[in-house]
Amino acid sequence: MQTFDLEAEGLRALNSALHALKGQTNMTAWEVINPKGAHAIAAGVDAPVEITVRGSTGYYCAGMNKLATIRIKGSAGPGVAENMMSGTVIIDGDASQYAGATGRGGLLVIKGNASSRCGISMKGIDIVVHGNIGHMSCFMAQSGNLVVLGDAGEALGDSLYEARLFVRGKVKSLGTDCIEKEMRDEHFLIVEDLLRRGEADAKARPEEFRRYGSARKLYNFNIDNAQSY
C-alpha cells in the first residue's frame, strides 16, 4: 500500500501521482492520511486502484472519478463524486450539497445523510444513501438510480427526466412533474442489487421502497402546463 501524508506532501503532489497511474498499474492500493478537509482530493483519477482517505474531505473529493474505488473514512464536503464516470465512491459519514451531481456512471454510496440537491442532473450514476436526503434532490435528473433508505426533503425530483428514485421513508414533497409510480418486478430487482452493492442489504428490503419518476409533462412546451415551467 502507498501511504500519502497530505499534510506533509501536499494536494498537488497527491493528485499528480494518482493522475500518472493511467491504465494498468502495480500500485493499486493507496492510503491518504491527514486530509483535514482539503478540497479536490483524488479528483480526476483514471485507473483501477483502491484509495482510502482517512478523514473528512472538502469540496469535490473523487470528482470525475473513473475506474477507481475511493472510500472516505469520514464525511465529505460539497460536490463529492461530481461528474463521476465509473468506479465506486463510498462515504462512511455524511455528504454535503450536490453529492454525485451530473454523475454519468459508477456507484456512490453515502452511509450517513446527504444534504440538498443530492444527484442533481445525474446522467447515469447510481446513488445509495443509507440515511436521509435534503431538498431539491435529483433536480433535472436525467438517468440512473437513487435509493434512499431514510426520508427525502422538499421538491424531490423537480423537473425530472428518466432517472428512477426509490425512497423507503417519507417524502416531504414532490417537485414539479415528479409523481409516484408503480413498483414492478424489474424495479424490485434494481433496488435489491443496489442495496447489496451499496452495503445496505442488511438494513432494508426492496418491498419497503416506493418509486418516483417523471410524469413527462414538461418534455415539450404545452400551454396547459405553462404554470409548471
Cell 447510481 maps to which residue? 126
Question: What is the structure's pLDDT at 25?
Answer: 72
Beta strand pairing status for 164-167 and 210-214?
antiparallel
Question: Is 82:103 a contact under the CB 8 Å cutoff?
Answer: yes
Question: Which CATH homologous superfamily contains domain 2-228?
Answer: Glutamate synthase, alpha subunit, C-terminal domain (2.160.20.60)
Question: What is the structure's pLDDT at 161?
Answer: 94
Question: What is the structure's pLDDT at 23?
Answer: 66
Question: What is the structure's pLDDT at 218?
Answer: 81
The CB-based long-range contact list for 135-142 (8 Å cut-off, 24+ gap) reads 135/172, 136/175, 138/163, 138/165, 139/175, 141/165
Per-residue pLDDT of the chain (229 residues; tens, 9 = 90+): 899 999 999 999 999 999 998 766 778 999 999 999 999 999 999 999 999 999 999 999 999 999 999 999 999 999 999 999 999 999 999 999 999 999 999 999 999 999 999 999 999 999 999 999 999 999 999 999 999 999 999 999 999 999 999 999 999 999 999 999 999 999 999 999 999 999 999 999 999 999 999 999 887 767 676 666 5
Taking CA 51 as the corner, what is the angle to CA 50 and CA 53, rounded to the nearest 5 degrees?
Answer: 155
